[in-house]
Amino acid sequence: MNQSITSQIGDIIREHQTFLVAGHIRPDGDVLACQIALGLTLRTLGKTVEVWNPDGISHKYSFLPHADLVRRPPSQARAFDAVFAVDTAAHDRIGNIRDRIASQKVLVNVDHHASNTRFGDINWIEPGAAASGELVHRLLRDNHWPITPAIAANLFVAIATDTGSFQYSNTTPQTLRLAAELVEAGANIAELSRHCFQSYPLGRVRLLQLALAGLRLSADNRIASVWLTKEMYRQSGALPEDSEGLIDHIRAIDSVLVAAVFEQDENGIVRISLRSKSNQINVDKIAAKFGGGGHMAAAGARIPGEPAAVETAVLKTIDQAVRSAADSAASPR
């Protein structure tokens, strides 16, 4: 009988002593919570653990139990027995962490993005999982490792944020059963939801106000898009992390099938975020055409080029997908 992936990874953990838990740039709730939950588990098992994120812990998620575990990588490279990359679809997404790893015996890649490039020595990729938090929970459960209230709280946030508070189409019966288990293990729904979804800084609201002033609708109001510019951040006083979730405000427009947010960074790269609420429109495929990826309902890419040209190309591709979906729905069966 083939060894299960959770048993295989469990053996790696049991056989090694020094670990790094790494996560992607511009961290969201899923990656940070998974990093903390796995880091806490490894410490409980008596392992020597570092938890690094290129951007550190964002202010938004500083409420997570043991958030202080997450640090930016140090200036000097370190050697590890095993490195875990969680919720990270491509190796370059861990940014400068790659330069701070002097050596490693094994790289374990745990993720739920269909676009994952399978860059690890061990690759556990499950696109059917609502969040990477589901995989971390299964790793702990299958290896009979304790799920403390702190771990439960982190895993609940990982799943809640990646499912839009259990509203997105990636929410399955298994997702809800798992959430119930985490509540039984000590996750406080009311407190965690307040931090995640009801505690936005004023700068974020002002950033949203500026973005919505430039709202663009196209394809008979089925596509909605906005820009986030450096000037908007300056005027609003918002931080880059405050852009998380802004896309949901334009996605929520009744007629909109696909929402897009465009943002230019300091290196002449346009960062795009895409959301779909149609089962006929896969934004992962749209993002893949520009070198990105993600999930059917949520994806993104980083595209070099002049902002207006990038916007035109992306909106044209979205328009083609929307029209193709409409034609398919209109075709006789």
Query: What confidence tens digit (pLDDT) does each residue in 184-243 have?
Result: 999 999 999 999 999 999 999 999 999 999 999 999 999 999 999 999 999 999 999 999
Number of CB atoms found within 10 A of residue 241's CB? 17
- What average pLDDT does this structure show over 169-184? 96
Which one-letter DSSP state was computed for residue 317?
H
| C-alpha distances out from residue 218 to 235, 255, 258, 323, 333, Å | 27, 11, 10, 12, 28
Helices 173-184 and 149-162: crossing angle in degrees, nearest 10, is: 150
Which one-letter DSSP state was computed for residue 4?
P
Residue 122 has pLDDT above 90, yes or no: yes
Residue 1 has pLDDT above 70, yes or no: no
The full DSSP string for 198-236 is: S---HHHHHHHHHHHHT-EEETTTTEEEEEE-HHHHHHH
Q: How far apart are CA 197 and CA 161, in angstroms?
A: 9
Question: Where are the domain boundaries for CATH 3.90.1640.10 in the chain?
Answer: 5-197
SS3 per residue for 20-34? EEECCCCCCHHHHHH
Q: What is the Cα 247 distance to its own chain's centre?
A: 14
Q: How far apart are CA 186 and CA 85, in angstroms?
A: 26
Query: What confidence tens digit (pLDDT) does each residue in 73-94 have?
Result: 999 999 999 999 999 999 999 9
For residue 243, give the 3-state DSSP assignment.
helix
**CATH number for the segment(s) 5-197:** 3.90.1640.10
Task: State the architecture of 202-330 in CATH terms.
Answer: Roll (3.10)
The reported pTM is: 0.90
For residue 63, give the 3-state DSSP assignment.
coil
**Type of residue at 16:** H
The full DSSP string for 167-200 is: TSTT--HHHHHHHHHHHHTT--HHHHHHHHHS--
